[in-house]
Amino acid sequence: MLNRFKQAVVDSFIGAIALGYVLAQAILHFVNIFASPVAGWLSRKQYGGLMPHTATLPGFSPQDALPDAVRFFVLLLVWFVLLRWLYFKPHKKEIPD
Amino acid sequence: MQKNFVWLDKITCENADVKPPLRNILAESHISAITIAVLLFWSLNAAFHALWSPLFRVAKYLFTAVAILGIPYSGTITFEDRVMLFATISYLFSALVSFAAAWLLARWVYGDGPLRSLSRYSNRIARKNHA
């Protein structure tokens, strides 16, 4: 049952499309791990004037990278598990009788 | 013989337990081609979003110039202009990153640029379907 489902997912390209999309998402989240703190710092600098002066805004904060880091690792894990399940299959040679 | 996946037929393994490298799996399972296509699409989408606001502003300026038959008033840089500039730079960065990711993946998997890789890939798929 599970093997038939796997075969159907592979043969219908649904697995390839899903894995391709997840890989693209993971790549962009990886880049955002480094870009998010810079973007956060820039937007705080840009729009900080709109906030009341009583609130103190942090400057460059590496914590901004945390959501993207979590997303990247979860997506990569899901991607690798699915890839291993669907496509990592050692070639089995036919043994003649 | 147990039905193996199509991509595995192309990989020659002497040992039955040998697993093909990740690069071959990505190439033969169509995953890398789809990833490259998705990244290129996102890159184009981000580039379009980046250029939309400045082009709209330019068009508005030109139409106003034609309508009043003169040079429209353009004051100092406002807060709105700064927001638009910030959004444009963000979108341009996204476009650049997506394209760079597509290029790197294409170079690693196919040894070629993203567009040429996709073109060769579509030719291969067409040949396979034709056969």
Question: How many domains, chain A?
Answer: 1
For residue A90, CA distances in Å to A53, A74, B25, B117 come to 63, 26, 11, 27
Top residue of B6, B8, B34 to mutate, by most chain A CBs within 10 Å, is B34
CA–CA separation, A75 vs B31, rounded Å? Answer: 15
Closest residue in chain A to residue B20, using alpha carbons only: A90
Picking from B26, B23, B45, the residue whose alpha carbon sits closest to that of residue B97 is B45
- On whether residue A95 sits in a domain, the answer given is no
Domain, as residue range, for A10: 2-86
Alpha-carbon Rg of chain B, whole angstroms? Answer: 24
| Position A91 in a domain | no
Does A92 map to a domain? Answer: no
Determine contact, residues B97/B105, Cβ cutoff 8 Å: no
Q: Rounded to 5 degrees, what are φ and ψ at B122?
A: -65, -35
Q: How far is Cα B13 from Cα B10, in angstroms, rounded to an integer?
A: 9
**Residue A6 is assigned to a structural domain of this protein:** yes
Q: Amino acid identity, residue B98?
A: S
The shortest C-alpha distance from A54 to chain B (Å) reads: 22
Q: Is residue A62 assigned to a domain?
A: yes
Q: Which residue has the tokens 């390209």?
A: A13
pLDDT tens for chain A, 97 residues: list them: 888 888 888 888 899 999 999 999 999 999 999 999 998 888 888 777 777 665 666 777 888 899 999 999 999 999 999 999 888 775 555 555 5
Cβ <8 Å between A35 and B97: yes
Cross-chain Cβ contact A31/B39 below 8 Å: no
Q: Nearest residue on chain B to A47, judged by CA atoms?
A: B83
B7/A87 CB distance under 8 A: yes
pTM across the whole model:
0.79
Whole-number average pLDDT of chain B: 82
